[in-house]
Structure 1
């Protein structure tokens, strides 16, 4: 088997990386579909808000449970991905996703809400395994110093999936499979069969594709557990990174979950829900801009002027796409365009410029960019929480731009030099996605007590910690003894 652990990137890595980015797109798409799914299930089964919230609980709960099981299996039996390889692991994960989507059909036939929750859990199991395998694989498909760039590019494609999923899902449910425009539980069947077919098709593509293998020494593969070892948890920079992932995912999901309510509040803009929903696309579009620009900023391009030029072009193109997409509305089966005034979105250009300056301040270093963006998030959330009107409005929307690179940068910093423990470390990081289920609950409880605007101060603590990780936490491993001699409590 080819040993490429220390090998630099080769031209052969481009095609495998394109294949892997398709995975990022598809799981981004299917994850955001939960937001489209919840209202239909709530109405069809006459659920309370708490019962409808079990959709996200089942989905995000799978991330925690499956990752925890993966970690303990890797300790006792050896890392599964090290044993069967990245390619087979990805294929198995895609087929599980396909099976989860297929379960929506019998769930709709039986009119069973627990059946739907089981289908979501199975679907999320596949997505969890995809994340465990695909994130580190994308990171090692090339030079170590550009790993953050590759993950940012892949996450940018992921953001494309999260941006178009609500639009595509709405079209399928409302206009294609809903008889007479009335959405019923039966309307969900065929869309999820289509999604399941896409997962199976992608599994076939991966099976037919050439994906480079990455081998480990025999003694490395066997050093997984059974001797009281903590495995990947022995590494302090990974443990700090797990908390950082929890804080990041929790903060991003919490902000996104309550943005519409924030924009509708009288002290902010008092927008109607439909208009607030349009502006929400700028939050997720900002995340796409930041991730794609991050991929360029942290890439191996030698010329800084080239980097800045490509970043500016990318930001403008994505902004125009988001501006156009948010203008589309459907009236009686026909497409119509209803553009926001350019003046209305002009402040967003200013936020993009500030984001650009933050990238320059980061100097192409993943850790430095991370803490610069974290400090920027603290400032924006303070403005959103303690001012008002359009200033608070745009500060809240601007957080998407600065949340953008955090997953990729934290992930690559946390798995750095884990060697044979990389897949195990990846499972622990993916497990901490459970922050997306916990932090929004805390923020929601705060909103009930102190109001939605002041509740936007809750995630500030998240980004203070992430700034610490970018400054100090990620560097602990540099002064740590070799893997074989590292023993921490």
Structure 2
């Protein structure tokens, strides 16, 4: 064995230091994934609450979630521009402060109360989360070895699932459990005074959320996050297409990559399924012919749905160390299709537990589709990631399921979810196969 020179020793020390810094950075970033998972799913508890307060149809209630995900479409490009201007760390802080401002706005909306202001403030919160998504997902992918990017993203996304698992308990306790509508049986008509009291019950939860977000923003602002090197930033040596705006769009080299082209709609369609289940879960489980319980009790079962997603991501991350990610994705998507069919054709506890089980099968879908979608993009990874994040706007089409629930029945509306699962199977088995693959960017320059 050759002697270790001082230069080699310095490199080893530097490598150990880099590893420690990456580990600390990932731990801190995991809190971001936790918080935006928590706040996103708190809407699953908030929707049946607002439906009672404002006497909303399923479509109007689903429109609340649609506004949330429309923000991903409109805020993604401005978020990318902001990151380019002020950097990743300041963008993370800005995103948290935007979310805190929206949470405080929810306190205002509850004090009036106002359905319109509620929609606006949810859009503000979602815009802050969009900024975090655009910054944090690529950041996690590049701080470390490229070959372990999928594993890192699945593990960090497991913390996102931890947030989604705890959010229903928080919401059931501080929102539904403290309201007349949340503890009453189905069909109970509230008086105007009871509606006002129920609306104001969300003030304390959102004040707590705003305080936590501000504290987290301060911590990240003072934390020495590793700088992203040149390899992690956009490589401008890629020759841009020329011609008219249409020609430049049509001839863009991104469209040569099948895994990205089919991956963008895969994210879009998957979000319709995930958000539709989460939003209508409480209403479905509380029905007399399914769970026969109050919305408060049903909100507690929602914890099992999101808990299944957390467990599934840990399992999927381990399995994908030995099995191709596309095969694992296909198996999970087929499992999701089966349990959704059971949900549609059965009743009672069978229907309820089938809907809960879909959380386990949904678990790996977003992080796995994301990593398969950017595989082989090389210098185009940054742009491809942006398109995949923008596709999260697919959650806005949950209003379509709300429309189906109003006109064809809540249980029948889950047929839409089952169809979405079949597209993910198609993507896993064929659409995710890379074409014109480029070398992965070397992140060693971080």
Q: Which of 442, 451, 459 is the aligned partner of 2:417? A: 459
Q: What residue in structure 2 maps to residue 143 of structure 1?
A: 145
Structure 1 contact 224–421 (Cα < 8 Å) conserved:
no
Is 1:441–2:443 an aligned residue pair?
A: no
- Structure 2 alignment gaps of length 5 or more: 1-14, 181-193, 441-446
TM-score of the two chains, using structure 1 as the length reference: 0.72
Count of matched residue pairs: 404
**Paired position in structure 2 for 1:236:** 258
Q: Which residue of 2 aligns with 1:167?
A: 169
1:283 — aligned with what? 305
Q: Which consecutive aligned stretches of 4+ in structure 1 deviate over 6 angstroms post-superposition?
A: 174-178
Show the counterpart of 1:475.
Answer: 433
Corresponding residue number in structure 2 for 1:215: 229
Contact 1:97 1:127 in 2 (8 A): yes
1:14 paired with 2:20, answer: no
Find the counterpart in structure 1 of residue 186 from structure 2. none
Q: Which residue of 2 aligns with 1:310?
A: none
Structure 1 range deviating more: 20-29 or 223-232: 223-232
Instruction: Give how far 1:222 is off.
Output: 7.0
Quick one: distance in 1 between partners of 2:230 and 2:357? 43
Contact map agreement 2:378 2:439 (CA 8 A) in 1: no
Aligned-residue Cα RMSD (Å) equals 3.6
The answer on whether the counterparts of 1:177 and 1:190 sit within 8 Å (CA) in structure 2 is no
Q: Judge conservation of contact 2:291–2:349 (CA < 8 Å) in 1.
A: no
Deviations 1:457-480 (CA, angstroms, capped at 9, x unpaired): 332322222122212222233x35
1:369: Cα distance to partner?
1.0
| Counterpart for residue 187 of structure 2 | none
Please state whether the residue corresponding to 2:262 is helix, strand or coil.
Answer: helix
SS across alignment from 2:94: helix
SS in 2 for 1:411: helix
In the TM superposition, residue 41 of structure 1 has moved relative to its aligned partner by: 4.3
Aligned with 1:194 (options 208, 231, 234): 208
User: In 2, Cα distance between the equivalents of 1:391 and 1:114?
Assistant: 38
Give the one of 263, 271, 274 matched to 2:292: 271
Q: What is the CA distance between 1:239 and its match in structure 2?
A: 2.0
Secondary structure at the counterpart of residue 244 of structure 1: helix
CA distance in 2, matches of 1:51, 1:199: 29
1:125 matched to 2:127? The reply is: yes
Instruction: Give the Å deviation of 1:26.
Output: 0.5
Bigger CA drift: 58-67 or 224-233?
224-233
What CA deviation, in whole Å up to 9, does each residue of 1:259-312 have, x standing for no partner?
44554667x74533455544433222211210122233345xxxxxxxxxxxxx
**Could you tell me whether the CA contact under 8 Å between 2:38 and 2:166 is conserved in 1?**
yes
Structure 1 residue runs of 5 or longer lacking an equivalent are: 1-6, 300-362, 484-489
Q: Is the 8 A contact 1:163 1:281 kept in 2?
A: yes
TM-fit CA distance, 1:59: 1.3
Per the TM alignment, residue 213 of structure 1 is displaced from its structure 2 partner at its CA by 2.0
Distance 1:160 1:441, change over 3 A: same
**Match of residue 154, structure 2, among 128, 152, 161:** 152
8 A Cα contact 1:67 1:431, kept in partner:
yes
Label 1:364 to 1:407 Cα distance change in 2 as closer, same or farther (>3 A).
same
> Normalising to structure 2: TM-score of the pair?
0.78
